[in-house]
């Protein structure tokens, strides 16, 4: 395993790429409403990244992925492919996952959205709780991302909060190092494991992106070889940030304006 410690110049470029990725999620938010297709969301994001940001959407053609963003709706855990036949409807939950390449460096982030206005029903309350707890899992993980800790400290914070709320953590997909490559070492597991006992050091850049299921943790891959869904058909949520390890903690490179009072 080769974990790259980023140089000052690389960090500067990653701050730019991270900010651009965050801006894509800020830009797309008003478009996420009942009746819009996930293909329309993909087109809007693609045009913004390419024409406004003068950047590159990293997912497009990455290992054959056909679109510029991932849109994972309801029981889709990750890697949902935008489609002209998939219209969002009231009470759907959707994760929009964006990775931008600028000057050769990647910024990777995702956010959950609740479609329409929540009704006062148990279903909608449960959906909102899953979204909230998953975001809290990510933030709790980020709080543990500091020199001297290990990746297992991040995983423990995520796993314990999910389990305390009767949710489960997906094991098969994880965070990852990132820089001038989309996926670098280390793998950042969201559950405690001996292979995750890696010391965190200043200058590391990696993503924390827990996938939390309302039911059990088990998943299956659909026939398109990309879309991952919960095996039991229950909802799944995910949030993601790219973070830089500093001398005393973590700097969130993909932070959105709306988070300035949260983190």
Mean pLDDT of all residues belonging to the chain: 97
Is the per-residue pLDDT at 263 higher than 70?
Answer: no
Is the per-residue pLDDT at 51 higher than 70?
Answer: yes
**262 — pLDDT class (breaks 50, 70, 90):** low
**DSSP-assigned beta bridge partners for residue 95:** 72, 112
**1 — pLDDT class (breaks 50, 70, 90):** confident
Whether 262 maps to a domain, the answer reads no
Whether 160 maps to a domain, the answer reads yes
Whether 24 maps to a domain, the answer reads yes
- Tokens coding 148: 């001297």
DSSP H/E element including 143: helix 122-143
Number of structural domains (the chain) is 1
**260 — pLDDT class (breaks 50, 70, 90):** confident
- Tokens coding 158: 């995520």
- Tokens coding 210: 């827990």
Find the farthest-apart pair of alpha carbons in the chain and give their distance in angstroms, rounded: 50
**198 — pLDDT class (breaks 50, 70, 90):** very high
- Tokens coding 41: 């969301």
Whether 61 maps to a domain, the answer reads yes
End-to-end CA distance of the chain: 31
Q: Quote the CA–CA distance of 137 and 161 in Å, as a whole number.
A: 6
Whether 53 maps to a domain, the answer reads yes
* Beta strands, E only, the chain: 56-57, 70-73, 76-78, 93-102, 105-114, 168-169, 175-177, 184-188, 205-208, 211-213, 219-221, 228-230, 236-238, 241-245, 250-252
* Mean pLDDT to the nearest integer, 10-24: 98
| Residues 200-251: tens digit of each pLDDT | 999 999 999 999 999 999 999 999 999 999 999 999 999 999 999 999 999 9
| Residues 141-190: tens digit of each pLDDT | 999 999 999 999 999 999 999 999 999 999 999 999 999 999 999 999 99
**254 — pLDDT class (breaks 50, 70, 90):** very high
Helix H, strand E, coil C: the string for 44-80 is HHHHHHHHHCCCEECCCCHHHCCCCCEEEECCEEECC
Whether 2 maps to a domain, the answer reads no
CATH number at residue 181: 3.90.230.10
Whether 225 maps to a domain, the answer reads yes
| Residues 52-105: tens digit of each pLDDT | 999 999 999 999 999 999 999 999 999 999 999 999 999 999 999 999 999 999
Whether 3 maps to a domain, the answer reads no
Segments forming the whole domain that contains residue 239: 8-256
* pTM as predicted: 0.97
Q: Quote the CA–CA distance of 158 and 248 in Å, as a whole number.
A: 20
């Amino acid at each position: 395993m080769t974990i790259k410690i980023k140089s000052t110049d690389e960090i500067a470029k990653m701050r730019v790429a991270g900010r651009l990725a965050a801006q894509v999620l800020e830009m797309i938010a008003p478009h996420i409403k009942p009746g819009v297709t996930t293909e329309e969301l993909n087109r809007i994001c693609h045009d913004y990244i390419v024409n406004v940001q003068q950047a590159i959407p990293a997912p497009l053609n990455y290992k054959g992925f056909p679109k510029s963003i991932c849109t994972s709706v309801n029981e889709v855990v990750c890697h949902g492919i935008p489609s002209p036949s998939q219209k969002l409807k009231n009470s759907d939950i959707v994760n929009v996952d964006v990775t931008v390449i600028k000057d050769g460096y990647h910024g990777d982030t995702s956010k959950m959205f609740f479609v329409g206005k929540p009704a006062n029903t148990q279903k909608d309350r449960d959906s909102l709780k899953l979204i909230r707890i998953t975001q809290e899992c990510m933030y709790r993980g980020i709080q543990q991302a500091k020199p001297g800790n290990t990746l297992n400290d991040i995983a423990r914070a995520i796993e314990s909060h999910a389990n305390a709320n009767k949710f489960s953590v997906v094991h098969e997909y994880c965070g990852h190092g990132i820089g001038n490559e989309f996926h670098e070492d280390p793998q950042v597991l969201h559950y405690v494991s001996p292979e995750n006992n890696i010391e965190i050091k200043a200058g590391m850049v990696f993503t924390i992106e827990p996938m939390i299921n309302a039911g059990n943790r088990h998943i299956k891959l659909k026939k398109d070889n990309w879309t991952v869904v919960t095996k039991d058909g229950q909802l799944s949520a995910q949030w993601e940030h790219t973070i830089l390890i500093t001398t005393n903690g973590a700097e969130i490179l993909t932070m959105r304006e709306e988070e300035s009072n949260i983190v």
